[in-house]
Amino acid sequence: MNLIWFRNDLRIDDNPALQAAMDTNQPCQAIFISTPQQWQHHNLAPIKIDFIERHLNLLGEQLGKMGIALFHLESTDFKAQSQCLLEYCQQHSIDQVFANQEVELNEQVRDHALSEQDIDILFFESDVIVTKGSVLNGQGEMYKVFTPFKKAWAAHLQRTYQAPLSSVFTSNTSLSRSVQNIAISFNAPKQDSSKWPLANVVLQQVVPDFMQHKLNNYHHDRDFPAIKGTSGLSPYLAIGAISPKRILSELLHQHPQALEAISQPEGSWLNELAWRDFYRHLLHHFPDLNKHRNFNAKYNGLSWLNSPKLLHAWQQGKTGYPIVDAAMRQLIQTGWMHNRLRMIVASFLTKHCLVDWRLGEKFFMQHLIDGDLSANNGGWQWAAGTGCDAQPYFRIFNPITQSEKYDPDGSFIRKYLPELDNVPLKHLHFPHDYLKQNHIESYWPAVVDHATARQQALSFYKTGI
């Protein structure tokens, strides 16, 4: 009997571990082992836990039609999870275990230890488009700047591109009769994720609609949070419900020359797939990133001020900067934040408030439906100036001009800050003088002065390095 161990790959489409298990033509079972204690330790957001649960039940339905029983077991952490797997294999006379790799360090340590046990376990790669370790510079090392990585990544794909694996459900010719898998419910805090459709609906409806109607304007629309100009695929990629190779395949079907145009405006969306691979490749090559260390060691001397008052104001969306506050409310209320806004609020916390980027990274993971260690770590270190190919420390986003540029009619701010409904547009992006003159107290004061905070940040970084 073969066992397919599902982890961060909740799909039947383009799933190499599942495909390899089915190719043996041996009977198969499937298993998922939840680890609520480990999830808490890793700050997994309740909305993401709910999202995983919904997709695990979808997976159970799909596997059931293939005649594969999916079993859910619960343990506490990775050590207990490993023991749970070993006991299951012994009890059910499992011959081989098939699983897809996870790039994070704790997961790698767990899998390495399992490989040394008396268990035949095979690992495959399913989380990236280009195999980790295959895109290197002239010295045989991982790129530390995104643009040359992106060009080498696209060139590698032009030479080696292979279509994703077909859905096992449609390609397998020896399906046994279906089984009825039991509904799965996690014993962990959850937040409703039902506003996000399941991955099968996304592949059938959302992806085609994006490719046909939004892709051509993506390079412009992506920066405006009031416009639904992004694909919204990040939550599905984060839990492996949709394959990144499948998304690339759909893109190349619509735009066969996309890889050649990756450095052009029309290649803007493909850049996002390349960024995702870049951050996961970095985690593979530099495992210390898993330990929340600065990528650039010269910033280890920074003594972050870490004001509890400023951190709390930022977390609550009460900084007095409307674009920052509206963004944080979007995160708290929906479990998601527009990418341009992620850059703005991260820059504000680290460079206006001088709060350690790790505290912002943790808060994001606790709330994001698409929380992903590689991208979250990469984005926060980029904003803080401590990371790989990071924004330099002396580049400090002005939240007022960013607001004026990317929310020019104020519609995003008004959506999440009804306190400012009656403020005229010309005052909306920093309304304090207007509110004071009109004796309006519906909005809170600014926690820092931009010009003063900018000078403090410049001095802080120069002193730290």
Distance CA 61, CA 56 (A): 9
Given the residues 5, 153, 196, 275, select the one marked as catalytic.
275
Given the residues 61, 74, 106, 304, select the one marked as catalytic.
304
> And the tokens for 368?
């994001």
Provide the residue type at 288 as one letter: D
Q: Where are the domains of the chain?
A: 2-124, 127-162+200-285, 297-464
Give the number of other CB atoms < 10 A from CB of residue 108: 16
List per-residue pLDDT tens for the chain, 465 residues long: 999 999 999 999 999 999 999 999 999 999 999 999 999 999 999 999 999 999 999 999 999 999 999 999 999 999 999 999 999 999 999 999 999 999 999 999 999 999 988 889 999 999 999 999 999 999 999 999 999 999 999 999 999 999 998 876 544 444 457 899 999 999 999 999 999 999 999 999 999 999 999 999 999 999 999 999 999 999 999 999 999 999 999 999 989 999 998 988 888 999 999 999 999 999 999 999 999 999 999 999 999 999 999 999 999 999 999 999 999 999 999 999 999 999 999 999 999 999 999 999 999 999 999 999 999 999 999 999 999 887 788 899 999 999 999 999 999 999 999 999 999 999 999 999 999 999 999 999 999 999 999 999 999 998 876
382 is catalytic: no
272 is catalytic: yes
Identify whether the C-beta of residue 278 lies closer than 8 Å to the C-beta of residue 150.
yes
339 is catalytic: yes
Mention the CATH class of domain 297-464: mainly alpha
Given the residues 200, 216, 296, 339, select the one marked as catalytic.
339
Gyration radius from the chain CA atoms: 23
Given the residues 53, 357, 361, 382, select the one marked as catalytic.
357
Three-state SS at 17: helix
Given the residues 196, 314, 336, 380, select the one marked as catalytic.
380
Residues whose CB falls within 8 Å of the CB of residue 464, separated by 6 or more in sequence, listed in order: 299, 301, 302, 303
Three-state SS at 170: helix
Mention the CATH class of domain 2-124: alpha beta
187 is catalytic: no
Model confidence pLDDT, tens digit, residues 94-138: 999 999 999 999 999 999 999 988 889 999 999 999 999 999 999
Same topology between domain 127-162+200-285 and domain 297-464: no
Given the residues 74, 250, 272, 404, select the one marked as catalytic.
272
Q: Which residues are annotated as a binding site for FAD?
A: 218, 230-234, 269, 272-279, 370-372
Three-state SS at 69: strand
CATH no. of 127-162+200-285: 1.25.40.80
pTM of the model: 0.95
> And the tokens for 322?
């409307």
Model confidence pLDDT, tens digit, residues 32-63: 999 999 999 999 999 999 999 999 999 999 99
Q: Which residues are annotated as a binding site?
A: 218, 230-234, 269, 272-279, 370-372
> And the tokens for 363?
């808060």
